[in-house]
Amino acid sequence: MSETTEKSLNFIEQIIEEDLKNGKHDKRIHTRFPPEPNGFLHIGHAKAIYVNFMIAQKYGGKTNLRFDDTNPVKEDTKYVEAIKRDIQWLGFEWEGEPLYTSDYFGKLYAFAQDLIKKGLAYVDDQSAEEIAQQKGTPTEPGKESPHRSRSVDENLDLLERMKNGEFDEGSHVLRAKIDMAHSNMHMRDPLMYRIKKVTHHRTGDDWCIYPMYDFAHGQSDSIEEITHSLCSLEFEVHRPLYNWFIEKLEIFPSRQIEFARLNLNFTVMSKRKLLRLVEENVVDGWDDPRMPTISALRRRGYTPESIRDFAERVGLAKRNNIIDLGLLEFSIRDHLNKIAPRVMAVLRPLKVVITNYPEGKTEMLTTENNPEDESAGTRELPFGREIYIEQEDFMEDAPKKFFRLAPGKIVRLKSAYIIEYVDHKKDAVGNITEVHVKYFENSRSGQDTSGIKAKGTLHWVSAEHAQDAEVRMYDRLFNDEAPDGHKGRDFMEFLNPDSLEIITNAKVEPSLVEAKEGDRFQFQRLGYFCVDNTYSEPGKPVFNRTVTLKDAWAKMQKR
RNA sequence: UGCCCCAUGGUGUAAUGGCAACACAUCUGGUUUUGGUCCAGGUAUUCUAGGUUCGAGUCCUAGUGGGGCAACCA
């Protein structure tokens, strides 16, 4: 037996294990993920998806995918497709076919009739304004509607006529009869149905009335016999109403449990704000790699594994939280470090001439594809008299701790030779245009007999063989930790003007020309990059920077 | 000034009345043909005040602080 360090349970797992112990629901566990198809899924949803699917998986249960489509004004089939794709990409499989709240419109209508018959619901023909006014405030009780005590038959008839489209939008609603003085605002005769003469993406024009969230969600859970209905903290105050409907309708008692949603610093997460970024063309669309959406993370080069790992690491509790973006970056670096092939790419090329290397000679050098993974094998890299190195890897006046190329310095070219500075040239305005070095012939990688110790190692590409490539350097969209956390200031004020830098003349090793959409690489010493799925063309890949490498040198320079 | 929820290092999450720990971040050092990875180590934590108890981060009360609730949205 191996020693397994027992991982402690989160509060939902504790509830579930208690239920299991008590034999509740015949020890069955069934969760659901209930998105409204009115926008794209983001990293916050990824956590909710992870929580729902992993908890069911852990206890041998099932997870439904249910589209909460009760408001046809905002919903659309195109979002249904995007949501399904994102969940599958994350690696989760829902039980059976996707479900829809709209599938239950008939049952919900019957539930409404049932409540009317029990004297627990009534049709109100006041305006939205009047109803809002009578609702009271958190500190003052509300007033009862003058229509509150209509007869069962009259209510039944009015509801029927609402359904049949005999009334205008806004003229009538169905309300639950609970308590207009209740301390919980949601219990003050909440709306159950409103008239909307709008075509629904699935039921078409079958219905003129649509149920409100509170009269749809819990009952849908119940119809599907969901045992544990997990949702975010904001629905905590809805729980008494959720339970009220279930109790009065005498239907399957699903249990709602709330947990804290994910918040990330340096970003915004609300659909409304993300939509604004898209509509005002601040970004390139919902899947712009700077967005926190699942589709953007995918395009940026994040792996499903890394997002699941992140969701695991952020934990699960009821405390409001703001997760450091650095944790997400840790998760993707950690995964990519293990799987991404290392390649040579120079973003800002500086020509280096090896003056003692034979002109016209090309030799092939062997380099490992991934030092973390022996099975990744090796490949050949062409080397010649002229190469490109990174501009920032040469300094005319270098400080002591600069372990790169500079007057008087010796460095190793990764997988190639050790070189020594000889000379450099500048243009009229003082830019360095070319560096001359000499190489040590007996220092070739793998067969180094020179005995020379080089302090630094540089990445490079052969000038003759290098290919031009476009590289998109993405950075955080906002330069403020909480862009939407400043009272009286718009989050757009905190946009990072440098969130995208497009480099069109990067030099990459020849093998990269064949890179395909979605391929991920580590550009040696620079970071992780992947082939963009939108701008790339066959033979002309465009690379997105997923994340930089950790950079101790940059950190040192800041100090 | 009503109701509900929450409070543990910088950020998250554990400790289920019995030695406050883990991850990320941060700092030192080592290894290294990536200033990456890896390895070793350090800094740093129970909101306040009472109470219960042999013993409280944990239970109780009050306070303080944070969040949520008054859409014909979900």
A224 and A90 part of one domain: yes
Distance measured from the CA of protein residue A372 to the C1' of nucleotide B38, in angstroms: 10
Question: How would residue A198 be classed by pLDDT, with cut points 50, 70 and 90?
Answer: very high
CA angle A552, A555, A559 (to 5 degrees): 135
Is the residue at A521 inside a domain? yes
What mean pLDDT comes out for the span A475-504? 94
> What DSSP element (H or E) covers A327?
helix A325-339
Whether A536 has a pLDDT exceeding 50, the answer reads yes
What mean pLDDT comes out for the span A56-73? 98
For residue A539, the domain's CATH number is: 2.40.240.10
For residue A32, the 8-state DSSP code is E
Distance measured from the CA of protein residue A30 to the C1' of nucleotide B8, in angstroms: 33
A277 and A421 part of one domain: no
User: pTM of the full predicted structure?
Assistant: 0.96
Report the nucleotide nearest the CA of residue A38, measured to C1'.
B74
CA atoms within 13 A on the CB side of A43: 31
Whether A2 has a pLDDT exceeding 60, the answer reads no
Distance measured from the CA of protein residue A45 to the C1' of nucleotide B23, in angstroms: 22
A71 and A91 part of one domain: yes
Query: Which residues contact residue A195 at a Cβ distance below 8 angstroms, ignoring those fewer than 6 apart?
Result: A162, A167, A168, A169, A170, A171, A172, A173, A208, A209
Is the residue at A389 inside a domain? yes
A164 and A92 part of one domain: yes
- State residue A557's pLDDT score: 87
A183 and A247 part of one domain: yes
Residues of A involved in catalysis:
36, 261, 271
Q: What is the dihedral of CA A153, A159, A165, A170, to 10 degrees?
A: 130
Is the residue at A519 inside a domain? yes
Distance measured from the CA of protein residue A18 to the C1' of nucleotide B51, in angstroms: 31
End-to-end CA distance of chain A: 50
Residue in this structure with the two tokens 């594809």, named with its chain if needed: A369
Report the nucleotide nearest the CA of residue A447, measured to C1'.
B33
Is the residue at A3 inside a domain? no
A453 and A480 part of one domain: no
Distance CA A212, CA A215 (A): 5
Question: How would residue A17 be classed by pLDDT, with cut points 50, 70 and 90?
Answer: very high
Final residue before a domain boundary, out of A226, A259, A292: A259
Distance CA A431, CA A437 (A): 18
Report the nucleotide nearest the CA of residue A196, measured to C1'.
B72
For residue A148, the domain's CATH number is: 3.40.50.620
What mean pLDDT comes out for the span A52-64? 98
Residue in this structure with the two tokens 């809805």, named with its chain if needed: A238
A191 and A120 part of one domain: yes
The amino acid present at A315, given as its one-letter code, is G
Closest residue by Cα to residue A117 from A145, A88, A156, A80: A156
Whether A151 has a pLDDT exceeding 90, the answer reads yes
Distance measured from the CA of protein residue A322 to the C1' of nucleotide B11, in angstroms: 8
A196 and A181 part of one domain: yes
Q: Find the domain containing A139 and state its range.
A: 25-259
Closest residue by Cα to residue A283 from A531, A545, A474: A474
Final residue before a domain boundary, out of A459, A479, A496: A459
pLDDT in tens, A315-360: 999 999 999 999 999 999 999 999 999 999 999 999 999 999 999 9
Closest residue by Cα to residue A522 from A433, A459, A437: A459
- State residue A6's pLDDT score: 63
Distance measured from the CA of protein residue A100 to the C1' of nucleotide B66, in angstroms: 37
ipTM: 0.97
Nearest protein residue to nucleotide B15 (CA to C1' distance) is: A8
Phi and psi, residue A303, nearest 5°: -100, 155
pLDDT in tens, A389-444: 999 999 999 999 999 999 999 999 999 999 999 999 999 999 999 999 999 999 99
pLDDT in tens, A89-145: 999 999 999 999 999 999 999 999 999 999 999 999 999 999 999 999 999 999 999
Specify whether the CB–CB gap between A499 and A492 falls below 8 A. Answer: no
A107 and A170 part of one domain: yes
Question: How would residue A486 be classed by pLDDT, with cut points 50, 70 and 90?
Answer: confident
Share of chain A above pLDDT 70, in %: 99
Residue in this structure with the two tokens 């409304």, named with its chain if needed: A272
Whether A54 has a pLDDT exceeding 60, the answer reads yes
Report the nucleotide nearest the CA of residue A73, measured to C1'.
B73
Beta bridge partners of residue A205, listed in sequence order:
none
Nearest protein residue to nucleotide B68 (CA to C1' distance) is: A234
Is the residue at A206 inside a domain? yes
Nearest protein residue to nucleotide B70 (CA to C1' distance) is: A137
Beta strand A520-523 pairing with A342-343:
parallel
- State residue A268's pLDDT score: 96
Question: How would residue A457 be classed by pLDDT, with cut points 50, 70 and 90?
Answer: very high
Is the residue at A34 inside a domain? yes
Report the nucleotide nearest the CA of residue A337, measured to C1'.
B37
What mean pLDDT comes out for the span A215-223? 98
Is the residue at A17 inside a domain? no
Is the residue at A16 inside a domain? no
Nearest protein residue to nucleotide B10 (CA to C1' distance) is: A324
Instruction: Report, in ranges, which bases of strand B sit under 7 Å from a protein C-beta.
Output: 1-8, 10-16, 23-27, 33-38, 66-74
A360 and A484 part of one domain: no
Phi and psi, residue A26, nearest 5°: 50, 35
Distance CA A186, CA A178 (A): 10
Distance measured from the CA of protein residue A151 to the C1' of nucleotide B9, in angstroms: 63
- State residue A279's pLDDT score: 94
A328 and A352 part of one domain: no
What value does the mean pLDDT of chain A take?
Answer: 96
Question: How would residue A376 be classed by pLDDT, with cut points 50, 70 and 90?
Answer: very high
Whether A5 has a pLDDT exceeding 70, the answer reads no
Whether A467 has a pLDDT exceeding 90, the answer reads yes
Distance CA A357, CA A439 (A): 7
Domain count, chain A: 3
Question: How would residue A1 be classed by pLDDT, with cut points 50, 70 and 90?
Answer: very low
Q: What is the DSSP string of A107-150?
A: HHHHHHHHHHHTT-EEEE-S-HHHHHHHT-BTTB-----TTTT-
Whether A281 has a pLDDT exceeding 70, the answer reads yes
A161 and A51 part of one domain: yes
Report the nucleotide nearest the CA of residue A414, measured to C1'.
B33
The amino acid present at A7, given as its one-letter code, is K
Closest residue by Cα to residue A229 from A42, A68, A8: A68
Final residue before a domain boundary, out of A459, A483, A511: A459
Beta bridge partners of residue A540, listed in sequence order:
A537
- State residue A4's pLDDT score: 43
Specify whether the CB–CB gap between A420 and A485 falls below 8 A. Answer: no
